[in-house]
């Protein structure tokens, strides 16, 4: 039963991901290591991620998906309390 529910959710998430503006960017800007990254690098990553997510047509759906699935990429990166792009 769980497998039948997981596949449609994964298909939806894959389809959603294809529409995201982050898909056209270097993925490293969405991965911020607050202990290891240089402060200038962190500032650049945060500023760029906020700009990309702020203009993205699927920002809300991505954020909800990320929060519900506690992912470490995509929506939850944008929606994390420490690196919110919202």
Q: In whole numbers, what is the pLDDT of the chain averaged over residues?
A: 75
Does the predicted model carry a pTM greater than 0.85? no
Q: Does a structural domain hold residue 13?
A: no
Q: What is the pLDDT of residues 5-40, one digit of tens each?
A: 556 667 766 777 788 998 889 988 888 888 889 999
- Burial of 9-46, coded b for 16+ CB within 10 Å and e otherwise, reads eeeebeeebeebbbeeeeeebbebeeeebeeeeeeebb
Task: Give the per-residue pLDDT at 69.
Answer: 74
Give the per-residue pLDDT at 67.
81
What is the number of alpha carbons within 13 Å of residue 48 lying toward its C-beta?
16
pLDDT of residue 7: 62
Within a domain: 39:
yes
Query: Residues 64-68: what's their mean pLDDT?
Result: 80
Query: What is the count of structural domains for the chain?
Result: 1
| Position 51 in a domain | yes
Full residue range of the structural domain in which residue 43 is found: 27-86
């Amino acid at each position: 039963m769980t497998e039948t529910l997981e596949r449609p959710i994964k298909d939806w998430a894959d389809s959603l991901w294809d529409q995201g503006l982050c898909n056209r960017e270097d993925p490293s800007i969405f991965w911020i290591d607050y202990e290891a990254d240089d402060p200038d690098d962190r500032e650049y990553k945060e500023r760029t991620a906020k700009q990309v997510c702020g203009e993205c047509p699927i920002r809300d759906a991505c954020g909800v998906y990320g929060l519900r699935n506690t992912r470490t990429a995509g929506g939850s990166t944008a929606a994390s309390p420490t690196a919110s792009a919202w």
